[in-house]
Amino acid sequence: MNDDNDPFIHFDAAYALGALSDDDRDEFELHMAGCAECRARVAEIADLPALLAGLPESAYEAAAEVAAPPDTLLPNLLRQVRREQRRRRLIVTGLTAAVAACLVALAVLVWPSGQPARPAPRQMTAVAASPVQATAALVKRGWGTEIDLVCRYDESTHGPAVPYSLVVVDEHGARYPAGSWALQGGKQIRFTGGTAVALADIASVQITFGDRPILQLSP
């Protein structure tokens, strides 16, 4: 809309300050319903009453000494409102960027791009007759080796739970316990154990019944 043809061109500030008469306010609100430009101007100076409310009393005392407000008063106030709005937008934009940077840093920390994929579980080999089958995955860790185990008892076998143990044998033949569990016939368990022995130093991982190895996996 051309400003020269808009009879309400100067109503926005008075409307925001509540200085319009009831009739003028009603007419202006009816006009704004179909005028996007006037709605935008009112929205732009919506903070004006709050800014004026925050002025110190000395500002009002100085204004009272002026016989008539200068023509530049309202433009100056509007410029101040726009500066304050720009300042707030910059603060919000800066905070948003900082939060986004923190989230990216956190994602890199928790999910490092260089982390290797977990190895697929491998079937353990039977070294003695047993109703137990198992798969294991050996994962290299900074503190040693993590062992992810899935152990299954033959479904045709039923009976009370039987204790089994996980043992790591290093390249020198030394044996290190890595955990134990009880497995009942027809059941399956997932067991995660660990050892301080480095993955490169492991000769085999064994499941034992008592002191007797029944299943074995070599890296």
Considering the domain architecture, whether residues 142 and 89 belong to the same structural domain is answered as: no
The domain that contains 208 carries what CATH number? 2.60.40
Q: What is the pTM of this model?
A: 0.46
Domain membership of residue 127 (yes or no) is yes
Q: Which of 87, 109, 131 marks a domain boundary?
A: 109
Domain membership of residue 115 (yes or no) is no
Considering the domain architecture, whether residues 128 and 208 belong to the same structural domain is answered as: yes
Domain membership of residue 114 (yes or no) is no
Task: From 157, 134, 145, select the one nearest 207 (Cα to Cα).
Answer: 134
Considering the domain architecture, whether residues 151 and 73 belong to the same structural domain is answered as: no
Residue 81 structural domain: 3-109
Number of domains in the chain: 2
Considering the domain architecture, whether residues 191 and 128 belong to the same structural domain is answered as: yes
Within the chain, how many helices (H) and strands (E) appear? 6, 9
User: Is-contact 197 167, C-beta < 8 A?
Assistant: no
Q: Which two tokens stand for residue 191?
A: 């067991």
Q: Which of 78, 109, 140 marks a domain boundary?
A: 109
Task: From 115, 121, 169, 123, select the one nearest 147 (Cα to Cα).
Answer: 121
Lowest mean pLDDT among 12-26, 37-51, 142-156: 37-51
Considering the domain architecture, whether residues 211 and 157 belong to the same structural domain is answered as: yes
Phi, then psi, of 132 in degrees rounded to 5: -100, 140
Side chain identity at residue 114, one-letter code:
G
How far is the CA of 182 from the CAs of 27, 187, 188, in angstroms?
84, 10, 10
Domain membership of residue 116 (yes or no) is no
Average pLDDT over residues 9-25: 78
The domain that contains 49 carries what CATH number? 1.10.10.1320
Selected residue with higher pLDDT from 197 and 116: 197
Q: Which of 109, 139, 164 marks a domain boundary?
A: 109
Considering the domain architecture, whether residues 18 and 92 belong to the same structural domain is answered as: yes
Residue 173 has pLDDT above 60, yes or no: yes
Domain membership of residue 11 (yes or no) is yes
Nearest-angstrom CA–CA distance, 97 and 90: 10
Considering the domain architecture, whether residues 128 and 177 belong to the same structural domain is answered as: yes
Considering the domain architecture, whether residues 93 and 161 belong to the same structural domain is answered as: no
DSSP per position, 180-199: EEEE-TT-EEEEEEEESS-G
Nearest-angstrom CA–CA distance, 46 and 124: 73
Domain membership of residue 198 (yes or no) is yes
Domain membership of residue 95 (yes or no) is yes
Considering the domain architecture, whether residues 101 and 193 belong to the same structural domain is answered as: no
Percent share of the chain, pLDDT over 70: 63
Domain membership of residue 171 (yes or no) is yes
Considering the domain architecture, whether residues 134 and 90 belong to the same structural domain is answered as: no
User: Is-contact 140 128, C-beta < 8 A?
Assistant: no
Side chain identity at residue 93, one-letter code:
T
Considering the domain architecture, whether residues 129 and 186 belong to the same structural domain is answered as: yes
Considering the domain architecture, whether residues 105 and 142 belong to the same structural domain is answered as: no
- How does pLDDT run across 101-157, given as a tens digit for each residue? 555 555 544 544 445 567 888 999 999 988 889 999 999 988 999 998 898 877 666
Rg (CA), the chain: 39
Place of tokens 């179909």: 34
The pLDDT assigned to 125 comes to 93
